[in-house]
A and B are shown apart, each in its own frame.
Chain A
Amino acid sequence: MPTSDSSSEFRVNPPGLDRRNFLRTSAVLATGLAAVAASLRPLMDLDDYTTVERFLQKYYKELTPAEMDRVLKRIEREVEKQYGVRPHVRDLKPMDGVEFVYALNLTRCIGCRKCVHACVAENNQSRNPEIQYIRVLKMPHGSLDMDNAEHDYAPALVPEPGFFYMPVQCQQCKNPPCVKVCPVHATWQETDGITVIDYDWCIGCRYCEAACPYWARRFNFTKPSLPKERINPDMAYLGNRPRRQGVMEKCHFCIQRTRAGRYPACVEVCPTGARKFGNVLDPESEVAQILRTKRVFIQLKEEMGTSPRFFYYFDV
């Protein structure tokens, strides 16, 4: 039967060619599958990426108390398996009548970075790559323009004349841009003013990191690594339990401490008393008094309308 050129491409093979065609198709298919398998080979090292239990875990706010219990137990098991330390993981809730506020005295800060390291130790941050929640800026006298800030200053002695130091961490905004942009509600503001992250819900899109005007958020670009002997076993679900690769984290006012009546690690360690922390709803608290009596205090980038719960003040 004559076939025109135009239709030849749609032709089925004559019956006699079926066997050869079958062999050829099989060969092509086998090569293709082998190539796909070879290109996916690195996935063999994908151990402990997720488990069925972790994959199906519900959103923090939808967990029943019983489910939460199981999740906390599971996290304890996992941490013990990975780090050889049995932690105590709690789901601490915000207390009624409490709104936490931070005040930092710029006149007193000497830029020693003790807060940075106390924070890392307290909150089980990755040591390699290094993740730190507090960034201390060294600024020339007189201006708050952060484009003049030096980030990696390392003199033998601080403070250096002619400079002041400004530690920046999560400002726990009343109107947080990071919460607004998160596509999956993985980060939200609690009633005590702390913006938290469900590390098991975050999809790692890093939109919040782009949205934060204070560069307060950190991403786990790889599996965090921290030495077993440095684990802080006192953990909270929304706080310092170890994070996994591919999720966000940030300062949470040491939720595992502050919701249990203690000060954040950075407050405790500060050698000059520049850091003050407390419940602003309690008129007798130190922070309430500072906000009442100091003539000037600063909210960073006030014009953003973020309304931080983190105030910088001076001894005036």
Chain B
Amino acid sequence: MMRVIRDYGVFLQRCARIAFVGDWRYYAWMGALTVVVLLGLNAYAKQLVSGLISTGMSDQVSWGVYIANFTFLVGVAAAAVMMVIPVYIYDNEELHDLVIFGELLAVAAILMCLAFVTVDLGRPDRFWHLIPGIGQFNFPASMLSWDVLVLNGYLLLNLHICGYLLYCRYQGKKPAKWFYIPFVFVAIVWAVSIHTVTAFLYVGLGGRPFWNSSIVGPRFLASAFTAGPALIILALQVIRRITAYHITDKALLTLRSIVQVSMLINVFLLLNEVFKEFYSGNLHVVSSKYLFVGLHGYHALVPWIWTAITCNLVAMVLLLLPVSRSLRWLNLTCVLCIVGIWIEKGMGLVIPGFIPTPLGQIVEYTPSLNETLICLGIWAFGLLCYTIFLRMAVPIMQGRLSKANERQPDSGVALPDPQTAPGH
């Protein structure tokens, strides 16, 4: 028993150590991210003191870019499932050794989600009121309580799967199927649930006709399965370039097909929504009008949404053309997908729900500088986490960081003292 704990301790220690080791590019990248994280932390400290008045939000538009980013990132986290399904259900060979990078991205995305909801709270000191058992958890009535459960559950599931598989690889052992396969399948359903629940957060509000529409859930999933795999395509290429990890073009093209189909569905669903809103011409169209063409002289979101639609349409056409089989074009397409969906799901979904207010007032919203810094800080924090995860995972997957080389003097990290180590 002691030996098991000691072995695991050494594993964790070596992983932690390696996160601080790298070439100058690694240090420059991590240093730059740390600076942005600290800027964000500073902005958050200011917000804690002055209150959310330091943001662009108001009683009229009471959620802003924090919740917008949160919504987008839940989608990114859910999208890991688009690698898990081909590998575990269709036995895709190409993606087999890559699926862990998707799952680690999900972990980083969930951490960002949790950070984004935390900075949005007016009283973060009272977070414990949300903890089931010691607080007052309004489950199952409040969709927010569902979200707390599914997001944290998804985080734990992915941490377990990634952690277990990496540790097995480190030890050179074959993972015990019963100890992770059931969790993988639970995680597939769970991934769909996190984004559905997040959609229901909006859909459930009868007083906001812009959100109170059954198409929001399907649109969330379609856009998530577009932007998420697009992000993974880019991440995999960065991994391939920097670490020489074996990633085939075929694997990237498999993900391309997923992005392709999802984007088609996404655009189709958007079309459905636009038709229903504008053709029937009932009074509930005001928010959509504000979003797409402006309302009574207010049109802050119009350039945003048309940028998003342009990105999505161009990306869709590129995805349909053989040209996006070349990696350069595929990368451009992925960037377009990510930008398009970030706007559409973020600013394009959250803000117009509040404009006009239920009493017909139009107050526009622009994020403040402090708010933007906090967002950048959280994004940098997420990238920092993902980089660290990859820094640990890649050498383990390559077999360069393993139990076998634990005791070699030139590679052993934090060797325990032989006199005190048990078993001697």
Chain A residues whose CB sits within 8 angstroms of the CB of B22 once the complex forms: 9
Taken together as a complex, chains A and B put the C-alpha atoms of A219 and B124 apart, in Å, by 15
What 1/0 flags go to A1-44 for Cβ under 8 Å of B? 10100111111100000000000000000001001101111110
- A40 contacts across to B, CB distance below 8 A: 41-42, 45
B52 CB–A CB distance under 8 Å: yes
Residues of B within 8 A of A49 (CB): 48, 125
Q: Which residue of A is nearest B412, CB measured?
A: A12
**B244 nearest CB across to chain A (Å):** 10
Q: Which residues of A contact B42 (CB under 8 A)?
A: 38-42
Q: Quick one: given A183-B130, A201-B129, A246-B52, are A145 and B283 in contact (CB under 8 Å)?
A: yes
Q: Are A203 and B127 in contact (CB under 8 A)?
A: yes
Complex contact B136–A247 (CB within 8 A): no
B369 to chain A, nearest CB (A): 15
Q: Is A137 an interface residue (CB 8 A)?
A: yes
Contact indicator A203/B130 (Cβ below 8 Å): yes
Are B48 and A43 in contact, with the CB atoms below 8 A?
yes
Q: Check if B143 is an interface residue, CB within 8 A of chain A.
A: yes
Contact A219 B62 (CB under 8 A): yes
Q: Tell yes or no: B49 within 8 A of A by CB.
A: yes
Asked if B144 and A181 make an inter-chain contact with CB atoms under 8 angstroms apart, the answer reads yes
Instruction: Write the chain B residue with the least CB distance to A246.
Output: B122
Which residue of A has the minimal Cβ distance to B52? A221
Question: Does A285 sit at the interface, judged by CB under 8 A?
Answer: no
Complex-state Cα separation, A205 to B354, whole angstroms = 15
State whether the Cβ of A70 lies closer than 8 Å to any Cβ in chain B: no
Selected interface stretch from A87-95, A210-218, A252-260, A262-270: A210-218
Q: Which of A104-112, A147-155, A229-237 makes up part of the contact surface?
A: A147-155
Whether A204 is near chain B, meaning CB under 8 Å from some CB there, is: yes
Complex Cα spacing A288 to B34, Å: 65
User: B126 within 8 Å of A by Cβ?
Assistant: yes
Note all chain A residues with C-beta closer than 8 A to B57: 221
Q: Distance (Å) between the CB of B406 and the closest chain A CB?
A: 10
The answer to whether residues A146 and B410 also contact, given A181-B144, A201-B129, A205-B144 and a CB cut-off of 8 A, is no
In the complex, B361 has a CB within 8 A of chain A: yes
Distance to closest chain B CB from A271 (angstroms): 23
Stretch from B79-87, B153-161, B201-209, B265-273 that touches the partner: B201-209
**Is B63 in the interface zone, CB < 8 Å from A?**
yes
- Of the listed residues A11, A38, A210, the one surrounded by the most CB atoms of chain B closer than 10 A to its CB is A210
Cα–Cα distance between A8 and B283 once the two chains are bound (Å): 68
User: Are A135 and B49 touching (Cβ within 8 A)?
Assistant: no
Whether the pair B41, A304 counts as a contact (CB closer than 8 A) is no
Are B353 and A210 in contact, CB atoms less than 8 angstroms apart? yes
B358 lies within 8 A of A7 (CB): no
Q: Measured between alpha carbons, how far is A245 from B51 in the docked complex, in Å?
A: 7
Q: What interface size band does chain A fall in?
A: 35 or more
* Interface status of B38 (Cβ within 8 A of chain A): yes
Inter-chain CA distance A41–B126, complex, in Å, is 22
Residues of A within 8 A of B204 (CB): 181
* Residues on the B chain within 8 Å of A218, using CB: 59
Contacts of A301 in B (CB 8 A): 207, 358
**Per-residue contact bits, chain B 304-329, to A (CB 8 Å; 1 contact, 0 not):** 00000000000000000000000000
Given A11-B411, A206-B62, A220-B51: A304 touches B122 (CB 8 Å cut-off):
no
Report if A185-B207 is in contact (Cβ < 8 Å); known contacts: A10-B413, A148-B360.
Answer: no
Q: Are A223 and B142 in contact (CB under 8 A)?
A: no
When the two chains form their complex, are residues B130 and A9 in contact, meaning their CB atoms are under 8 A apart? no
Say whether, besides A135-B359, A177-B207, A203-B121, A42 and B135 are in contact (CB < 8 Å): no
Taking a contact as CB atoms under 8 Å apart, the answer to whether A304 and B207 are in contact is yes
In the assembled complex, the Cα of A50 lies from the Cα of B128 at a distance in Å of 14
Q: Does A186 contact B (CB under 8 A)?
A: yes
Chain B, Cβ-Cβ closest to A10: B411
CA distance A43 to B45 in the complex (A): 6
Tell me, yes or no, whether B248 is within 8 Å of chain A by CB.
no
Q: A55, A183, A212: which contacts B142 (Cβ < 8 A)? A: A183
**Distance to closest chain A CB from B30 (angstroms):** 11
Residue of B nearest to A56 (CB): B128
The answer on a CB contact under 8 Å between B359 and A214 is: yes
Contacts of B395 in A (CB 8 A): 9-10
Task: Give chain A interface residues in 174-222, CB to chain B under 8 Å.
Answer: 177, 180-186, 201-207, 209-215, 217-222
The smallest beta-carbon distance between A153 and chain B, in angstroms, is 12
Complex contact B410–A36 (CB within 8 A): no
Min Cβ gap B224→A in Å is: 21
Contact among B125, B127, B130, B413 with A50 in the assembled complex (CB-CB below 8 Å): B125
Pair B142/A181 contact, Cβ less than 8 Å: yes
Additional A-B contact list (13), CB under 8 Å, known A148-B360, A149-B359, A221-B53: A7-B400, A10-B413, A12-B414, A38-B42, A145-B360, A177-B206, A183-B138, A183-B144, A204-B123, A213-B358, A215-B359, A218-B59, A246-B52
7 A-B pairs (CB sep. < 8 Å): A59-B136, A146-B360, A149-B360, A183-B142, A203-B123, A211-B205, A222-B51
Chain A to chain B: the 4 pairs with minimum beta-carbon distance, closest first: A204-B122, A213-B207, A246-B122, A222-B51
